Amino acid sequence: MDKRLLESFVAVYRSGSLVEAAERLNISQSALSRRITEFQHRLGLSLFEPSGRGMAATSDAHDLLPLASAALEGIARLEAAARVNSVQPAVHITVAATAHTIETVVAPRIADFIQTKPNIRIGVIEANGVEIENLVLSGEASMGITGRPRYDTGLVEHQIVRLDILAASPKPFSASERRSGIDLRALCERDLLVLDRGYQSRLTLDAALRLLSLSPSIRHEGGSGTVILALARAGLGTAVIPATTRTDLHTAKIIANGIVLGMDLAAIWDPTLRWRAEVEQVAESMRASFATRKRMRRG
């Protein structure tokens, strides 16, 4: 199967428009239309139907998308293997993530990564959780780091780490709380300092509060972990932060219904991306870094 046909199918599926897909692939609309016609002819399927000024995917197209994405991923790996002993081209990768994720997850690992891959240049785009996926789908970002990817877009998802959500306070927690965590009901008896709803950790906290029908006193809602930790240090309340946030305060895991409150952080990218193999390497280096840190803590 011609890779260009797969890329054309996925691009039209994503955009719902021949015009937008042709712009993204940097080919003419007529050339893209011929590719889609050829792809449908080879498969013996009708994949798109006219819908207003766009193209609506058929049920066959919905079924085919994950297979096409997987095929493109396999091609990318094959191309990457073929480039191992060749001269490496300059690769520019842009990562979209929240400011907190850039500070705690992306930035600490960029320096180590580019030492081993000097041909790769990494830039970042600060965005809130809602924007990250759209930046990847539009092609403005090569990769997104998010705690809440959707599952109907055909984007590749690569889990990086499972993050606990912590309570942080200048006053020590009890011995049992340090060992087993602080129950969410007990935590809600305190004034809380929380991140805003652009953060997955806040959305996870809110979901647990709704589940248990709890209404805590939120003293401050901020867009920076540094700020809410400073307020906690000043004695204004207990901060709720993801485990990647560095702090000198006392911390404890948060327990809701006997389960440690946490979230999955994942890298997402478009399988039709030109440099998808290199993007996968960046994501894997982040995952491996967290795995190494966990093993060292256990040791």
Residues ≥6 apart with Cβ < 8 Å to 164: 242, 243, 253, 254, 260, 261, 262
265 vs 82, 98, 106, CA distance in Å? 30, 12, 12
Give per-residue pLDDT as tens, 196-233: 887 888 888 999 999 999 999 999 998 888 899 999 99
Give per-residue pLDDT as tens, 251-275: 999 999 999 999 888 899 888 887 8
Give 168's DSSP letter.
E
Residues ≥6 apart with Cβ < 8 Å to 4: 35
E strands of 58-136, at which residues? 91-97, 120-126
Name the 3-class secondary structure at 138. helix
Closest CA to 127 of 47, 175, 198: 198
- The confidence score (pLDDT) of residue 23 equals 85
Confidence category of residue 101, pLDDT binned at 50, 70, 90:
confident
Give per-residue pLDDT as tens, 21-75: 888 888 888 888 989 999 999 899 999 998 887 889 999 999 999 999 888 888 8
What is the Cα gyration radius of the chain? 23
Number of neighbours of residue 98 by Cβ within 10 angstroms: 25
- The confidence score (pLDDT) of residue 296 equals 52
pTM: 0.60
Residues ≥6 apart with Cβ < 8 Å to 57: 13, 16, 47, 48, 65
Joined together, the tokens standing for residue 228 give 């809410």
Closest CA to 16 of 36, 39, 44, 40: 36
Closest CA to 203 of 263, 145, 153, 121: 263
Burial of 122: CB neighbours in 10 Å, binned 0-12, 13-18, 19+:
buried
- The predicted model gives 96-109 an average pLDDT of 82
Most confidently modeled range among 76-90, 176-190, 267-281: 176-190
Joined together, the tokens standing for residue 192 give 């809380």
Instruction: Tell me the average pLDDT of the chain.
Output: 86
Give per-residue pLDDT as tens, 112-125: 777 777 788 889 99
Instruction: Return the minimum-mean-pLDDT range out of 7-21, 144-158, 159-173, 269-283.
Output: 144-158
Give 27's DSSP letter.
S
The whole-angstrom separation of Cα 46 and Cα 39 is 9
